[in-house]
């Protein structure tokens, strides 16, 4: 059940008996655990001045309502990047009762680094050792008891994708949260000289700093100062004796640098990594053997260039083929059922109440033609695509795509990790643009966001399939995708050459394929599709009524007149079709839905209604322009939020120009054939 967000961020405590925070890297299954516990009913919030989100929801366990805070996925805590800063501030200021740190059993040493940081801060910790099934397949076995003894925290083995171990995890976490004194928080032990410096600085802090930030222990603050954390340096500097404490910290840090030949922050990080490796060696047994598992072989095949690229092309062809055939079949069936069963009832009721009047004709545009158009586009194409996207995510195939396309991405000024938000953009541009936060520079984020805007999202795919494929054939529909993909590469190469800077390298963990969980896929699909049902349908209904009123009263021709030179003259489309393109700024699929509603009102429930209204060439140009020009208002809003309004305005203007030029050229070329 979603909870209401407190207005004053960064206070993120939930209005529940207990609050647990989930922490872990972006690929360790943290989101899966959060979704399994909360049913995906979430609210999101941003810290002031930050774009990284914190997700919050509730779960019920043995009658106890628990607040669950999903921290941003990150490998460490600190002030180095936004995700690290938000993750740390969320626990420092939100003060959860316990923190569940999710560890990857296939890469334990790397994951322990952040857990050790949480221990340094003094938080009650529960470790969720996740992906133990995959680790076992790789010959990696972790003794949870030994790991718990070495860390001094409870360890629970889980498999997030199917919910295994989550009940035990919550039970242990609730026990720790209810009785924080049951488990002594053991600080990690570093090298002798590092521990000496921490001890000396801790005594300095205890004697001179009376108001310690966030009520942290003197030891925790000492470590942060030795790491030269800018936030805590500023907080201590404002204290009455802060300058003396900072001077002591600088002196001790200088001694560490002199003894080890590297800066104190680097030395402490190296000690923490070393300790993580030592603990892993104590708890982990590796029995590597040649893989005989199909999923492991598939992973090798999909990441090797000579086999991976053909597989990728085959996967894309299969996806679009399934959308083409399954979508068109579902669209036809749904349209026939609506026309036979619901349309007569709706129209009869409207005519019974309002008679044969202009009002009746206008109302038919909404409940009948509008809703039919919305669902006949949404169910066959949007719902189907979201199911396929969730399947790709759950199998882990998107990670292999990122690795495989790294070299190609460099030509566009990006690296392989950018492939994931680009692919996600085929579902919806909004979360895909938010996903560019995984990229390290603003240059990369601008390039990736521009390219994502050009990626045909599910709404634009619905227009291409519902208008072009259904009435003109699969060849013109595929031609639109080829044109758009060529445009994406051309724009990426151009931006890479024009914008100063160079793409960074790809550093990411690689994960083998996993068996998808049908229940999780269905949840993801519905969670995404319900936005279409509950948000898009009212907009389509309202837009259909407005368009119907303009059409039935004749005012539509006054509005379409100014559009004629561009829409009719350059693009070769009916002027009224240009009006539907303007409405599509609200939501991209609205263009086709309003066009279908217009055709339904004018020509009835004829299976070939759009061809009675526009020919195949016009449908092609119409879908092509709709695919390229201005993203929807939601995408524009997130562009402004993520990149700044100046950059967002430039991207919008560029897409309008590209759509006009390419659409006009396509009309001229096809007309001359």
Chain segment 38-54, per-residue pLDDT in tens: 765 554 444 444 446 67
Is the pLDDT at 201 greater than 90? The verdict is yes
8 lies in some domain: no
pLDDT at residue 18 tops 80:
yes
Q: How many domains in the chain?
A: 3
196 shares its domain with 125: no
* pLDDT exceeds cutoff 70 at 296: no
The confidence score (pLDDT) of residue 412 equals 84
Q: 264 and 344 share a domain?
A: no
Percent of the chain with pLDDT over 90: 24
CATH of the domain at 263: 1.10.287.1770
Clarify whether residues 350 and 428 are in a common domain. Answer: yes
Confidence category of residue 112, pLDDT binned at 50, 70, 90: very high
Tens digits of residue pLDDT in 64-106 = 888 888 888 888 887 666 778 888 988 898 888 899 999 988 8
Mean pLDDT of 557-568: 80
Q: What is the pLDDT of residues 152-200, one digit of tens each?
A: 899 999 988 777 888 899 999 988 888 765 555 667 788 888 999 999 9
Question: 538 pLDDT band (50/70/90 cuts)?
Answer: confident
- pLDDT at residue number 10: 39
CB neighbours of 526 closer than 8 A, spacing ≥ 6? none
Q: What is the pLDDT of residue 11?
A: 44
Residue 289 has pLDDT above 80, yes or no: no
Helices (H), 284-370: 294-303, 305-337, 343-354, 358-363
Residue 300 has pLDDT above 80, yes or no: no
Q: Residue 662 — very low, low, confident or very high, per pLDDT cuts 50/70/90?
A: very high
Kindly list the strands in the beta sheet with 125-130, ordered across the sheet, starting from the edge strand earlier in the chain.
43-46, 53-61, 64-70, 18-23, 98-104, 125-130, 155-157
CB 559 within 8 A of CB 579: yes
Domain edge (last residue) among 151, 182, 213:
182
Give yes or no for residue 329 having a pLDDT over 90: no
In this predicted structure, what is the pLDDT of residue 505? 55
Q: Considering only residues 602 and 445, tell me which one the structure prediction assigns the higher pLDDT.
A: 445
Q: Based on the domain organization, do 267 and 317 belong to the same domain?
A: no
Q: What is the pLDDT of residue 50?
A: 45
> Is pLDDT of 24 > 70?
yes
145 and 170 inside one domain? yes
Across the range 571-592, mean pLDDT stands at 78
pLDDT reading at 488 higher than 90: yes
For residue 296, is it within any domain? Answer: no
Q: Please say if the pLDDT value at position 672 is more than 90.
A: no
pLDDT reported for residue 587: 66
Specify if 12 maps to a domain.
Answer: no
Q: What average pLDDT does this structure show over 380-407?
A: 76
- 3 pLDDT band, cuts 50/70/90, is very low
Judge whether 114 lies within some domain.
yes
Output the domain CATH number for residue 31.
3.40.50.300
Residues 432 and 328 in one domain: yes
Where residue 408 falls (left for φ over 0; alpha for ψ -120 to 50; beta otherwise) is: alpha
Residue 576: inside a domain: yes
Separation of alpha carbons 181 and 322, rounded Å: 56
Does one domain contain both 248 and 333? no
Q: Does any domain span residue 623?
A: yes
Instruction: Output DSSP code: residue 123.
Output: -
pLDDT at 52: 60
For the chain, the residue count is 673
Predicted confidence at residue 546, as pLDDT, reads 78
Domain boundary among 136, 160, 182: 182
If asked whether residues 612 and 540 sit together in one domain, one would say: yes
Q: Helices in 574-615 by DSSP H: which ranges?
A: 575-583, 590-603, 609-613
Higher-scoring residue by pLDDT: 121, 597: 121
Structural domain for 490, as ranges: 305-672
Residue 291 lies in a domain: no
Residue 510, pLDDT score: 57
| Residue finishing a domain among 251, 286, 321 | 286
Q: What is the mean pLDDT of residues 101-120?
A: 91
Residue 639 has pLDDT above 60, yes or no: yes
Cα distance between residue 422 and residue 407, in whole Å: 15
On whether both 41 and 130 belong to a single domain, the answer is yes
Same domain, 178 and 196: no
Neighbouring C-beta atoms of residue 321, cutoff 10 Å: 12
Find all residues with CB under 8 Å of 557, minimum gap 6, and list them.
575
Euclidean distance between CA atoms 219 and 205, whole angstroms: 9
* CA atoms of 429 and 632, how far apart (whole Å): 9
Express as a percent the part of the chain with pLDDT over 70: 82
> Rounded to whole angstroms, how far apart are CA atoms 436 and 458?
19
Give the mean pLDDT of 223-230.
92
Question: Would you say residue 1 lies in a domain?
Answer: no
Pair 174, 86 in one domain: yes
| pLDDT 10s digits, 345-355 | 888 888 888 88
pLDDT given for residue 254 in this prediction: 93
Q: Measure Cα distances from 150 to 146, 279, 280, 286, 582 in Å.
A: 6, 6, 9, 18, 63
Question: Mean pLDDT, to the nearest integer, of 590-612?
Answer: 66
**CA 527, chain centre distance (Å):** 13
pLDDT at 199: 93
With 0-12 / 13-18 / 19 or more C-beta atoms within 10 angstroms meaning exposed / middle / buried, residue 261 is exposed
Phi-psi map region of 191: left, alpha, beta (phi>0 left; psi -120 to 50 alpha): beta
Q: What is the pLDDT of residues 29-40, one digit of tens each?
A: 777 788 777 765
Q: What pLDDT shows up at residue 264? A: 92
| Statement: residue 7 has pLDDT above 50 | no
Does residue 240 sit in helix, strand or coil? coil
- Burial (CB count within 10 angstroms: exposed 0-12, middle 13-18, buried 19+), residue 285: exposed
Answering whether pTM is above 0.85, one says no
User: Mean pLDDT throughout 262-284?
Assistant: 91
Whether residue 415 is found in the same domain as residue 559: yes
Which of these, 538, 557, 552, 544, lies nearest to 354 by C-alpha position?
552
| pLDDT (0 to 100) of residue 627 | 92
């Amino acid at each position: 059940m979603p909870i209401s967000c407190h207005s004053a961020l960064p206070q993120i405590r939930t209005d529940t008996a207990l609050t647990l925070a989930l922490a872990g890297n972006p690929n360790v299954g943290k989101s899966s655990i959060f979704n399994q516990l909360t049913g995906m009913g979430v609210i999101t919030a941003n810290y002031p001045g930050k774009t990284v989100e914190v997700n919050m929801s509730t779960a019920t366990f043995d009658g106890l309502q628990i607040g669950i805070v999903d921290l941003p996925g990150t490998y460490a805590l600190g002030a180095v990047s936004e995700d690290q800063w938000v993750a740390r501030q969320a626990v420092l200021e939100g003060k959860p009762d316990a923190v569940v740190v999710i560890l990857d059993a296939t890469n334990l040493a790397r994951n322990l680094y952040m857990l050790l940081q949480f221990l340094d801060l003094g938080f009650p910790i529960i470790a969720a050792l996740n992906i133990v099934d995959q680790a076992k397949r790789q010959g990696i076995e972790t003794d949870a008891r030994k790991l718990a003894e070495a860390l001094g925290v409870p360890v629970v083995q889980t498999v997030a994708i199917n919910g295994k171990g989550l009940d035990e995890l919550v039970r242990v976490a609730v026990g720790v949260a209810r009785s924080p004194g049951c488990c002594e928080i053991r600080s990690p032990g570093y090298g002798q000289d590092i521990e000496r410096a921490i001890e000396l600085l801790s005594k300095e802090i205890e004697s001179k700093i009376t108001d310690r930030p966030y009520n942290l222990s003197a030891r925790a603050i000492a470590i942060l100062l030795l790491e030269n954390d800018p936030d805590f340096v500023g907080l201590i500097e404002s204290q009455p004796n802060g300058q003396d404490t900072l001077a002591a910290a600088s002196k001790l840090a200088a001694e560490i640098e002199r003894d080890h030949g590297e800066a104190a922050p680097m030395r402490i990080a190296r000690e923490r990594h070393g300790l993580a490796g030592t603990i892993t060696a104590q708890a982990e047994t590796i029995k590597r053997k040649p893989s005989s598992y199909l999923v492991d072989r598939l992973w090798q095949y999909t990441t090797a260039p000579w086999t991976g690229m053909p597989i990728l092309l085959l996967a894309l062809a299969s996806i679009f083929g399934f959308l083409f055939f399954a979508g068109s079949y579902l669209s036809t069936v749904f349209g026939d059922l609506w026309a036979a069963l619901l349309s007569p009832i709706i129209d009869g009721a409207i005519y019974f109440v309002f008679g044969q009047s202009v009002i009746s004709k206008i109302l038919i545009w909404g409940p009948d033609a509008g809703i039919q158009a919305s669902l006949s586009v949404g169910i066959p194409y949007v719902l189907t695509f979201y199911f396929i996207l969730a399947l790709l995510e759950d199998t882990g195939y998107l990670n292999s795509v990122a690795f495989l396309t790294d070299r190609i991405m460099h030509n566009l000024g990006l690296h392989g990790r950018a492939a994931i938000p680009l692919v996600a953009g085929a579902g919806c541009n909004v979360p895909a643009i938010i996903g560019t936060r995984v990229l390290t520079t603003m240059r990369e984020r601008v390039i990736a966001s521009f390219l994502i805007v050009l990626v045909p999202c599910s709404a634009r795919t619905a227009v291409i399939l519902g208008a072009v494929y259904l009435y003109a054939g699969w060849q013109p529909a595929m031609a639109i995708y080829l044109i758009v993909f060529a445009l994406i590469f051309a724009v990426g190469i151009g931006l890479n050459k024009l914008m100063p800077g160079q793409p960074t390298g790809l550093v990411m963990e690689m994960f083998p394929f996993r068996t998808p969980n049908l229940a999780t896929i269905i949840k993801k699909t519905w969670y995404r599709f319900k936005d279409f049902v509950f948000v898009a349908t009212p907009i389509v209904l309202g837009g259909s009524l407005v368009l119907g009123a303009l059409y039935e009263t004749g005012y539509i021709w006054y509005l379409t007149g100014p559009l004629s030179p561009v829409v009719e003259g350059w693009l070769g489309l009916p002027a009224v079709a240009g009006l539907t393109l303007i409405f599509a700024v609200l939501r991209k699929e609205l263009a086709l839905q309003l066009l279908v509603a217009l055709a339904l009102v004018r020509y009835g429930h004829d299976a070939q209604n759009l061809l009675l209204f526009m020919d195949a060439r016009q449908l092609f140009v119409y879908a092509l322009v709709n695919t390229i020009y201005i993203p929807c208002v939601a995408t524009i809003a997130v562009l402004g939020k993520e990149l700044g309004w100046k950059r967002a305005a430039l991207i919008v203007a560029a897409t309008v120009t590209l759509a006009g030029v390419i659409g006009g050229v396509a009309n001229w070329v096809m007309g001359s054939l």
